[in-house]
Amino acid sequence: MTKPDTTERLTRCKALLADLVAFASVSADGNRAVTEYLAKALSAAGARVEVMPDDTGLQANLFATIGPDTGDGIILSGHTDVVPVVDQPWTFDPFAMTETDGRLYGRGTCDMKGFVAACVAMAPEFAALDLKRPVHFAFTHDEETGCFGAQRLTAHLQARGFRAQAAIIGEPSLMQVIDGHKGCYEYTTHVVGLEGHGSSPDLGVNAVEYAARIALKLTALREDLKARAPADCPFDPPHSTLNIGALRGGQVHNIIAGTARLDWEMRPVQVSDADFIKAELAAYVAQLREQMQTIHPEADITTDIVAEVVGLAPETANPARALAMSLTGANGAGLVPFGTEAGLFQSIGIASVICGPGSIAQAHKPDEYLEIEQLSRCLDMLARLADALTDSVKNNSDR
Active centre residues (catalytic)? 81, 143
Please report, to the nearest 10 degrees, the dihedral formed by the alpha carbons of residues 125, 389, 111, 25 taken in order.
Answer: 60
The Cα–Cα gap between 333 and 321 comes to: 7
Q: Is 194 left (phi over 0), alpha (psi -120 to 50) or beta?
A: beta
The rounded Cα 221 to chain-centroid distance in angstroms is 26
Q: Which residues partner with 180 through β-bridges? A: 335
Let me know if 288 is exposed, middle or buried by CB neighbors in 10 A (0-12, 13-18, 19+).
middle
Phi, psi dihedral angles at 188 (to 5 degrees): -130, 120
Phi, psi dihedral angles at 112 (to 5 degrees): -140, 45
